[in-house]
Amino acid sequence: MALQSTRPSSTEQGKARRGARLLLGVRTRPRRATVLAVTMIVLLVAVAYGAAAAYSGPQVPRGTRVLGIDLGGLDERAAVERLGKRAAEGAAQPLRIRAGGHEVSLKPEEAGLSLDARATVEAAMENKFGFFSVFDAVLGGRDVDPRVRVDESKLADALAKANAQIGAPVKPGAVRFHGTTPEVVLPRAGVGLDPRQAAAPIRAAFLRALAGKPAPLDLETGPVQPKVGADAVRRTAEGPARVAVSGPVTLLFGGERLTIEAEGFAPFLTFEPDGAGAMRPRIDGEKLAQAMEPRLREVERPARDATFEIKAGGPRLVPSAAGREAEPKALADAVVSAAVRAQGREANVPLTATEPRLTTEEARKLGVREKISTFTTRHPCCAPRVTNIHTIADILDGHIVRPGETFSLNGIVGKRDRARGFVPAPMILNGRYVDDVGGGISQFATTMFNAVFFGGLEDVQHMPHSFYISRYPAGRESTVSFPQPDFRWRNDSPYGVLVDTSYTDTSITVTFWSTKRYDIESESSERYAIRGFDSKTDTGENCIPMPGADGFKIDVWRIFKQDGKVLRRQKFHTTYLSEPRITCT
pLDDT band at 24 (very low <50, low <70, confident <90, very high): very low
Calculate mean pLDDT across residues 471-490.
94
pLDDT at 191: 87
Of residues 228 and 210, more confidently modeled:
228
Indicate if the pLDDT at residue 579 is higher than 90. Answer: no
User: Which segment of 80-94, 503-517, 526-540, 556-570 scores lowest on mean pLDDT?
Assistant: 80-94
Q: Cis omega before residue 473 (within 30°)?
A: no
Least confidently predicted of 88-92, 236-240, 546-550: 88-92
pLDDT reported for residue 248:
96
| Between 444 and 434, residue with greater pLDDT | 444
Cα–Cα distance measured from residue 360 to residue 362, given in angstroms and rounded to the nearest whole number? 5
Write down the pLDDT at residue 22: 45
Residue 556 has pLDDT above 90, yes or no: yes
Most confident of 38-52, 299-313, 423-437: 299-313
| pLDDT of 549 over the 60 cut | yes
Q: What is the mean pLDDT of the chain?
A: 85
CA distance 463 to 44: 86
The answer to which of 4-18, 85-99, 238-252, 511-525 has the lowest mean pLDDT is 4-18
> Where do the domains of the chain lie?
34-171+188-222, 239-356, 366-584
Give dist(CA 232, CA 23) in Å, integer.
94
H-helix segments, 186-229: 195-210
Model pLDDT, residue 12: 56
- Choice among 114-123, 283-292, 440-449 with the minimum mean pLDDT: 114-123
Can you tell me the distance from the alpha carbon of 160 to that of 231, in angstroms, rounded to the nearest whole number?
A: 23
Phi, psi of 78 (to 5 degrees): -65, -40
Average pLDDT over residues 375-394: 93
Highest mean pLDDT among 108-122, 129-143, 248-262: 248-262
DSSP class of residue 10? H
Residue 275: which pLDDT band, with cuts at 50, 70 and 90? confident
Its sign, for the CA torsion 427, 431, 434, 437, is: negative
Query: Span 528-553, mean pLDDT?
Result: 83
Residue 17 has pLDDT above 60, yes or no: no
Q: Please say if the pLDDT value at position 401 is more than 80.
A: yes
Any idea which architecture 239-356 has in CATH?
Roll (3.10)
The confidence band for 220, taking pLDDT boundaries of 50, 70 and 90, is confident
- 249: burial class by Cβ within 10 Å (0-12, 13-18, 19+)? buried
Mean pLDDT confidence for 106-135 = 72
Interval 452-471: pLDDT, tens: 999 999 999 999 998 898 88
Residue/partner pairs of 123-126 with CB below 8 Å, 24 or more apart: 123/147, 124/60, 124/61, 124/64, 124/66, 124/71, 124/79, 125/60, 125/61, 125/76
Question: Which segment of 37-41, 105-109, 533-537, 578-582 scores lowest on mean pLDDT?
Answer: 37-41
The pLDDT confidence band at residue 338, using thresholds 50, 70 and 90, is very high
- pLDDT number for residue 45: 45
pLDDT at 135: 44
Res. 155: pLDDT tops 90:
no
Q: Is the pLDDT of residue 134 over 60?
A: no
Crossing angle for the helix pair 384-396 and 442-455, to the nearest 10 degrees: 40
Q: pLDDT at position 498, please?
A: 96
pLDDT higher than 70, residue 342:
yes
Residue-wise burial string across 278-307, b where 16 or more C-beta atoms lie within 10 A, e elsewhere? ebebebbbeebbebbeeebeebbeebebbb
Mean of the pLDDT values across residues 432-448? 84
Rounded percentage of the chain residues whose pLDDT exceeds 90: 50
Kindly report the pTM of this predicted structure: 0.58
Question: How does pLDDT run across 403-421, given as a tens digit for each residue?
Answer: 999 999 999 999 998 989 8
C-alpha–C-alpha distance, residues 174 and 186, integer Å: 7
Is residue 233 over pLDDT 80?
yes
- What's CA 481's distance to the chain center, in Å? 30
End-to-end CA distance of the chain: 184
CA distance 566 to 553: 26
Average pLDDT over residues 172-182: 94
Rounded percentage of the chain residues whose pLDDT exceeds 70: 86
How does residue 5 score in pLDDT terms, banded at 50, 70 and 90? very low
Contacts of 379 (CB under 8 A, 6+ apart): 385, 386, 389, 443, 471, 506, 507, 508
Nearest CA among 479, 447, 453, 476 for reference residue 466 = 479
pLDDT at 26 over 80: no
What is the tens place of the pLDDT at every residue in 80-102? Answer: 888 888 777 777 788 888 888 88
Q: Report the pLDDT value the prediction gives residue 246, as an integer from 0 to 100.
A: 95
User: Which of helix, strand or coil describes residue 398?
Assistant: coil
